[in-house]
Amino acid sequence: MDGVNHTAVTHFVFLGLTSNRGLEVALFVLFSIIYLLILAGNLLIIVTVVRDHCLHTPMYFFLGNLSFIDICHSSVTAPKMLLDFLLLRKTISFSGCIAQLFFLHLSACAEIFLLTIMAYDRYMAICHPLQYMSVTSLKVCAWLVGALWVGATIHSLVQTVLTIRLPYCGPNIIDSFFCDVPPVIKLACTDTYFTRVLIVSNSGMISLICFLALLASYIIILVSLRGRSAEERRKALSTCAAHLLVVALFLGPCIFLYTRPAASSMDKMVAIFYTVVTPVLNPVIYTLRNEQVKTSMKKLRDHKVFWVGK
């Protein structure tokens, strides 16, 4: 049995995070607040980067794109999860499940690629400052962002094709709160060993290779800082520390979820962390540790107050 023609399942049923109705109401309130904070925090960074010409540099260009991807990434799963907290039966159509799976991998892979590019940007700025502006012009940065979306689309298409080519004839219960490749292909009524190997090779290797590339970049940066002044080291380490924290918060869960052939009881909590928690932490990490962003936000706020008063 292979191919979509054998698919009998028309919808899937999520088990969600809990079956306790009282707890679901509390989680609905909690995650509604978190999702609104994700939208507000990341939109604030995007508007700040666009409005302040002082932030029209490669580093902040990438930061604005990271905020956009965080909004996309959380919006793939959070609205459906919030709706399901209010419903007794949590269902999603087969086509809706595949669409959610596609856009989840699209945004997650785009974020992984962008974090890797941001590490390269910091490497060039710190280790090769004289060539930095010529090598990483805004035009080059725009091409890099375009390329990462193309790469992410190819990855997501591969994951989607690997999933829909399998026959699904029941059961249709997904032990999660959203559609992802590992829990969905568990429901296929055929042997999925080869597919699971391809998934680990694809998603897992992308996460692992990008993480190693990031690690190598920052090791080189740390080595190059040994001969710099204390102030130069402080500024470089402050910027790099924020980026490394974001990398650890995002890539850590991705590596945990996609480099193992078998699922575990921790998967739901890890998935919550990288789909909802990380996008709300990124604006906090970058704004609290970056004086230039905070200054630009204050200028934007003061401008709005002046405009309203006028």
What does pTM read for this prediction? 0.87
243 in Cβ contact with 152 (< 8 Å): no
Query: pLDDT-based confidence at 310, cuts 50/70/90?
Result: very low
pLDDT tens track for 93-132 = 999 999 999 999 999 999 999 989 988 888 888 888 888 8
For residues 3 and 186, the model is more confident at 186
Question: In this predicted structure, what is the pLDDT of residue 306?
Answer: 40
Report the percentage of the chain scoring pLDDT > 70.
92
DSSP 217-240: HHHHHHHHGGGS-HHHHHHHHHHH
Q: Which tokens in the block code for residue 104?
A: 């989840």
pLDDT at 295 over 60: yes
What pLDDT score does 260 carry? 64
C-alpha–C-alpha distance, residues 56 and 131, integer Å:
18
Q: d(Cα 151, Cα 263) in Å, to the nearest integer?
A: 26
> Per-residue pLDDT for 69 more than 70?
yes
pLDDT value of position 2: 45
Instruction: Return the higher-pLDDT residue of 64 and 250.
Output: 64
**Three-state DSSP class for residue 13:** strand
pLDDT average, residue stretch 15-44: 92
286/157: higher pLDDT: 157
d(CA 78, CA 70): 12
* pLDDT tens sequence across 263-293: 666 778 888 888 888 888 888 887 766 777 8
Please check the confidence at residue 307 and state whether its pLDDT lies above 70.
no
Q: State the pLDDT at residue 4.
A: 44
Q: What is the mean pLDDT of residues 64-82?
A: 94
> Is the pLDDT reported for residue 208 higher than 80?
no
Looking at per-residue pLDDT, the higher value among 17 and 146 belongs to: 146
Q: Is 263 left (phi over 0), alpha (psi -120 to 50) or beta?
A: beta
Predicted confidence (pLDDT) at residue 262 exceeds the cutoff of 70: no
Q: What is the pLDDT of residue 261?
A: 57
Pick the CATH number of 12-309 from 3.40.50.300, 3.40.50.720, 1.20.1070.10, 3.30.930.10: 1.20.1070.10
Is it the case that residue 304 has pLDDT exceeding 70?
Answer: no
Mean pLDDT of the chain: 84
- For the chain, what percent of residues have pLDDT higher than 90? 33
Radius of gyration, CA atoms only, the chain: 21
**What average pLDDT does this structure show over 204-217?**
82
More confident residue, 237 or 278: 278
Sequence spans of domains, the chain? 12-309
